[in-house]
């Protein structure tokens, strides 16, 4: 289940209903897909897309998405830092950013047109849709692991446009996770 934080307001949301309502006010869709499909850790991308074909098909119809693929990132993924560096600075896309998290975790920061920056930590089972044009950035959590189904309206829209604002540098890419203990030292990754 996701965790939403609004650092400027010292707010942390952990209940799905609260998270859905908060994100909806910013036009971000959030839901949890059920039932989860039991897919082996070493299942291929095709196996994953087959297992979730019904949900992916429904989402395509709903959002006008035409393609789906799987992104699979591990700590030993070649050129991982270079890949992450494309997305950990504030940017936007010409199409929606749609992710269903199958394994691992990730951290979106959203910089809304009005209101303070907030963070959405997503994990397995979470579906998130960040609308086109939304200013945001993305980091992995300390375990540097995420496997997610991505949907696209047009793959050519998937280019990040950087704002160059530097706002992202004011926020640490720190995930809380379900086992976060406030007295523990914060990871620096």
Shortest Å distance, C-beta 97 to Fe ion: 5
Shortest Å distance, C-beta 156 to Fe ion: 15
Q: Which stretch binds Fe ion (CB under 5 A): 18-26, 67-75, 97-105, 166-174?
A: 97-105
Shortest Å distance, C-beta 149 to Fe ion: 15
Q: Which of residues 10-39 bind Fe ion (CB under 5 A)?
A: none
Question: What b/e readout covers 69-105, taking b as 16+ CB neighbours within 10 angstroms?
Answer: ebebbeeeeeeeeeebeebbbbbbbebbbbbbbbbbb
Residue pair 30/19 in contact (Cβ under 8 Å)? The answer is: yes
Q: Which stretch binds Fe ion (CB under 5 A): 1-9, 29-37, 64-72, 96-104?
A: 96-104
Q: How far is Cα 13 from Cα 2, in angstroms, rounded to an integer?
A: 9
DSSP structural state of residue 187: P
Shortest Å distance, C-beta 10 to Fe ion: 26
Q: Which of residues 48-87 bind Fe ion (CB under 5 A)?
A: none
Instruction: Compare residues 51 and 95 and give the one whose CB is closer to Fe ion.
Output: 95
Instruction: Compare residues 95 and 97 and give the one whose CB is closer to Fe ion.
Output: 97
Shortest Å distance, C-beta 36 to Fe ion: 25
Q: Which stretch binds Fe ion (CB under 5 A): 14-22, 43-51, 94-102, 142-150?
A: 94-102
Helices (H) then strands (E): counts for the chain: 4, 11
Number of residues that bind Fe ion (CB under 5 A): 1
The beta strand positions in the chain, using DSSP E, are 3-6, 11-13, 29-32, 67-73, 91-92, 97-111, 118-123, 126-130, 135-140, 146-152, 161-162
Instruction: Compare residues 162 and 180 and give the one whose CB is closer to Fe ion.
Output: 162
Residue pair 152/95 in contact (Cβ under 8 Å)? The answer is: yes
In the bound complex, which residue of the shown chain has the CB atom lying closest to Fe ion? 97
Interacting residue ranges for Fe ion, rule: CB under 5 A: 97
């Amino acid at each position: 289940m996701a965790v939403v934080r609004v650092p400027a307001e010292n707010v942390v949301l952990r209940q799905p209903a609260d998270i859905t309502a908060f994100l909806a006010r910013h036009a971000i869709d959030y839901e949890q897909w059920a039932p989860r499909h039991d897919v082996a850790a070493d299942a291929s991308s095709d196996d994953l897309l087959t297992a979730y074909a019904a949900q992916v098909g429904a989402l395509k119809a709903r959002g006008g998405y035409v393609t789906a693929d799987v992104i699979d990132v591990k700590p030993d993924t070649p050129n991982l830092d270079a890949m992450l560096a494309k997305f950990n600075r504030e940017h936007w896309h010409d199409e929606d950013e749609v992710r269903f998290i199958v394994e691992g975790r990730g951290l979106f920061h959203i910089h809304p047109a009005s209101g303070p920056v907030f963070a959405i930590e997503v994990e397995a089972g979470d579906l998130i849709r960040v609308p086109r044009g939304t200013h945001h950035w993305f980091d992995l959590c300390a375990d540097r692991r995420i496997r997610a189904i991505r949907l696209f309206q047009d793959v050519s829209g998937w280019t990040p446009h950087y704002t160059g604002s530097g706002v992202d540098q004011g926020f640490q890419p720190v995930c809380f996770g379900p086992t976060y203990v406030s007295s523990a030292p914060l990871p620096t990754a």
